[in-house]
Structure 1
Amino acid sequence: MSHSRRPRVLVIMGGRSGEHEISCATAAGILRALDRDRWDVLPVGITRDGRWVRVPDDPSLLEFVDGHGQSVPEDGSGVVLVPGTCRLLELPSSTDEGAATTVRDLGEIDVVLPLLHGPYGEDGTIQGLFEMADVRYVGCGVTSSAVSMDKHLTKTVLAAAGIDVGRWELLTARQWEVDPAECTRRVEALGYPVFVKPCRAGSSIGISKVDGPEQLAAAVKEAANNDPRIIVEAATCGREIECGVLAGIGGAAPTTANLGEIVVPEGEFYDYQLKYFDTEGVSLECPADVDPHVAQRIRETAVRAFEALECEGLARVDFFHDPTTGSVCVNEVNTLPGFTPFSMYPRMWASVGLEYAALLDHLLTEALERPLGLR
């Protein structure tokens, strides 16, 4: 990177997962917040069918409007990354004769800010592309992203590290099709209620609370619509506490922010509708009112989980804490947490004085200083 220019940031949004609109909303907040005196920003979107296109640098075209999300426009000019060069080329948006002469060299990229929630973005796939192309990027690497995206694998790794993750069963769509009775028996051993989830989806998409066996088939079908790998979790009593973890710059130890707590109406759980639309009944408390000794345990456990999964950059570790028993249980680890200005992860860091724009500066600086190749 030349020291005579601002570092070039490729902001990637959209993607092929069911969280396409959430990704666009995340990008809207980040495009507004990035310090343009410090960073040269180039927004690129990935359409729902996987095509890379130029996106106008206009957050209003990406944010939620009247309860509806936005999508990456299908008619943008194509963009390709040239492996080994860190260069981007803009392709013509039509096949008119002579269009090839309009190919533009968009220059080199110094660092990528991938804002792709869910499969084909948060799961190690695009991280592998960046590794192959020798491009630095914000966030976790290939293995960490893939394992953390899969709730079953996350629990398996954390349990092996001695971290409490509750009780669960892995089902597959094939197992359910072949022997639903055996699958039901395994689920019933957990005890109702249970939560049925796609293994590799976020934003609470495809999740159902199941209070009895008569609801199980529909819940499995809903989860399988999003992922053939399905995790069934025993209900865990307690408060939903979240902890933000941030990697240190230059190899420094990771740090944690103030804890946050999600409080939902009694009898409900934090599903997609409550997260993004029916938000009036939801309270996001930060800092959470947690006993200081318990808070310290949660922070230490969050860092242990971060390191056990070999995370880089950032992660949000979600816990259940039962004040009556003192138990602390990891629910999941999110390597690309919600990142709008109102999301819990940036709010937790703002509560300790690291505001939104400064948090982005930290993440980009940490990624720029990270070595390429095997780490």
Structure 2
Amino acid sequence: MMEIRVLVFGMTYNPGGLESVVMNYYRHIDRQKVQFDFLCYNKEPAYAEEIRRLGGKIKVIPGRKSGVIRNHFTMKKWFRENADRYAALWENANSLTDIQPLIFAKKYGISKRIMHSHNSNSMDEPITAFLHKHHKKQILNLATDFWACSLVSAKWMFGEEIIKSKRFHIITNAIEAEKFAFNKTIRDEERAKLGISDCFVIGHVGRFYFQKNQEFLVQIFQEIHKRNPKSVLILIGQGEDEEKIHTQVEKLGLKDVVKFLGVCTNVEKLYQAMDVFVLPSHFEGLPLVLIEAQANGLPCYASDCISKEAQVTSSCQYLSLNLSAEKWADKIMSHENSRNPDAVKEIRNSDYDIQEKTKDLEAFFINGD
């Protein structure tokens, strides 16, 4: 059969959750049947080298910050010249501030046009909040299909009318569970590298940003460290609030026991080094890192602002952000050494197994269902 090409929009240079979700599906789809190309703003996307190895093409155009008019006409020209190559547009977004790809995909004849929601709120400026609300009405006539990582992310981006329609589907943030399976040898190696072999290790993965609530996480860790001086917090990620969190850590006298690891390409190995995973987010679409941490068998503590759809295994618990840091610490300290031995099996039997979910995606692109 003839190869189907899908144009993917929304990937950035930062290897965050959205980027990881797209790549998980791309790695596992039958690329002899369905191939992805990537349209990006300003810089090549995260995983650019891997994308090319897998047969994907990358086109970078100027983003809106380089000039709205320039961005508009560059994108319009590109779609006019290239749209006939694609059977589908897959736009991945954390908000509806930019729906130009949908507009031009429809104008120039791409038959399948998917808007995929990856978030459940936004901290953007008033103008972008206005655009999100305004575009919410427009996408009804622009997109042919509406995807979301969770119901809460769908309600925020699309509303009830779309959710009740046949055009809506939940596309889970599926993973390859075996990649994250607990391995004591790797655990010992990673802990030795970090100098934390005999420590109680709290782990967190996320962009340094209000959404992820690292400020409260550090407060929780302060309470844990009072009770267990051998405890360590490792923070994986980068972002706007990183300097602010560095300052907080120094003021609390925790500089030597909080490790800022930055963006890491071996996150699956770093989960092994952890004893507990904590994600006290203010809001999420559906956090991929929480699924990954559960696959490793880690006791996971997430805020109750996160959709219960993310509770895939028995090792995940939700706590209220109304509780004090001391109360969170009480809960976390009760599970210092317990790991879920059935984690991989539970992921495989859920809607988060990448092998099974990729089959659904492939069928959609080939057959439209």
TM-score, normalised relative to structure 1: 0.34
**TM, length-normalised to structure 2:** 0.34
> Which one has the bigger strand percentage?
1
